[in-house]
Amino acid sequence: MRGPHNIIRLIRTGATLERTGAMNVVLDAFEAPRALRILAHTLGKPFQWLGYKGDPSMPPATRALTALGPAYIKFGQVLSTRPDVVGEELAEQLRVLQDKLPPFPRDVAMAEVEKELGQPLDEMFSEFSEPIAAASIAQVHKAKLASTGEDVAVKVLRPGIERAFRKDVDAFYFAARIVQLFAPGARRLRPMEVIEHFDGVVRGELDLRLESSAASEFAANTQNDEGFWLPPVVWSLSARRVMTLSWADGIPLGDNAALDAANHDRRDLAERVLRLFLLHALRDGFFHADMHQGNLKVAANGDIIAYDFGIMGHIDEYTRRVYAEILFGFIRRDYKRVAEVHFEAGYVPADQDVDEFARALRAVGEPIFGMDATHISMGRLLNYLFEVTERFGMETRTELILLQRTMVVVEGVARSLDPHMNIWEVARPVVEDYIKQSIGPRAALRDFGRTALVLARFGPRLPDLVENALIAQTRKDDPSGSDFWPKAIPAAIGAAAGAVAVLIFSGLG
């Protein structure tokens, strides 16, 4: 049934896109070639009557995806993090995509919790509320622990959601293969890569153990961050389809009237949310990648509370240093250094002209710095930067795209709290502090010591490794073996000296 199911689902998708007016929006965003446009309209127009009507008050793309159901809603949300694929205009529309869906019954949720945790519900919870929030993949209930009376939030996956998503993702793969088959020119759109990325994200969100793990790691990284709090995971009541967290009371960060009524300093909140994001991205390389107002609250004591850890971003230490140097170079308006960093990191091909690239970067930065402080946008800067680097042959880096998208969202949150905030003044101390800690002579010595410690672990194996490497190289250069010792002895001495140096530095580390 897989083939017929996919064909029927594909026809209904095309029909819905046509009926809601989203077909051309999507095709334009992907810069689809003529052959693909003809195929799409052929599948959609004759069957418009099969398409879902959706909510006419929504923009076409969000209207169509919302009408098509949970998998399509989640697909749109994931695509909103990839403006490199769908373009900035469509990504902006998809960022407001909401997945507020009708909840499933409380009794069903209670049965799911009992089945997943293997205990009678009343032994775990003395109270279990009606659903308080329902999304495309799961819904949340407020409950009270039977053992302690503590209030908790219980997140439960929708019954059968795994099978439903698998069917739709299978249809997405089928559509991607059709695109590649009938429109070879569309392969540059990387349809299979886009679906594989989505599949990976969804698989992670359909296993709440992974979200629990992400929440726990994030909490460990940020436990000493002043003015920031994460509800702890209740591990004994969490599993693959159920996740239990301590209850977090607070005012939604997007409710300015309530924040003012509670005498919270919105300017301080705006600066703090931006600083915290940069701190987590640069210091830890592990950040909340869905930091919109709906996932942030303000506690009575003024702490910012974050929750919903289904989408987290990760950046390795080297990339963090590159990103910090790029930001710092723009803050100082040192465009030559920003250009050099791109070349040193290998982001821009070495055959490009560094001075020409620096001039292009100046054209990006100077208009922004000429603006009034309240209109300076780090998100806009990063967007322009990616446009320029693409012209100079820089390959797309998914982790930086996610970082840029989150930066735009966080900046929007901060601006909604304080429209007059100077983004650069807030960002500068965080970036400067990271630069001092991670770049320079002291950081180089620390890196060298850490490298030596890693190499020292191979100390007992170094003689064998050196001998095997020498024998392999000499046999390659001289298969007869007649010239082995004249080459091997100097190389062995050098290797031994290197080993001694490693052991010395490891002792210093």
Examine the residue annotation and report whether 464 is marked as an active-site residue of this protein. Answer: no
Q: Strand, helix or coil at 304?
A: strand
How long a stretch of residues is the chain?
Answer: 509
What b-and-e string marks burial along 171-193, b requiring 16 or more CB atoms within 10 Å of the CB? bbbbbbebbeeebeebeebbbee
3-state secondary structure 329-396: HHHHCCHHHHHHHHHHCCCCCCCCCHHHHHHHHHHHHHHHHCCCHHHCCHHHHHHHHHHHHHHCCCCC
Please check whether residue 30 is in contact with residue 61, taking contact to mean a CB–CB distance below 8 angstroms: no
Q: Per the residue annotation, which of 84, 168, 225, 290 is the catalytic one? A: 290
Measured distance CA(209)–CA(230) in Å, rounded: 17
Q: What is the SS3 assignment for 301? A: coil
264 by DSSP, 3-state: which?
coil
**Cα–Cα distance, 207 to 161 (Å, whole number):** 11
Q: Which residues contact 330 (CB under 8 A, 6 or more apart)?
A: 338, 365, 381
Residue 300 CA to residue 124 CA, distance in Å, equals 28
What is d(CA 23, CA 37) in angstroms, rounded to the nearest whole number?
9
d(CA 153, CA 212): 13
| Phi/psi of residue 246, nearest 5 degrees | -60, 145
CA 449, CA 69: separation in Å to the nearest integer? 53
Kindly write down the DSSP assignment for every residue of 442-482, as one continuous string.
HHHHHHHHHHHHHHHTTGGGHHHHHHHHHHHHHHHH-TT-T
Query: Could you give the maximum distance between any two Cα atoms of the chain, in Å?
Result: 88
Give the residue numbers annotated as catalytic, written as ranges.
Answer: 290
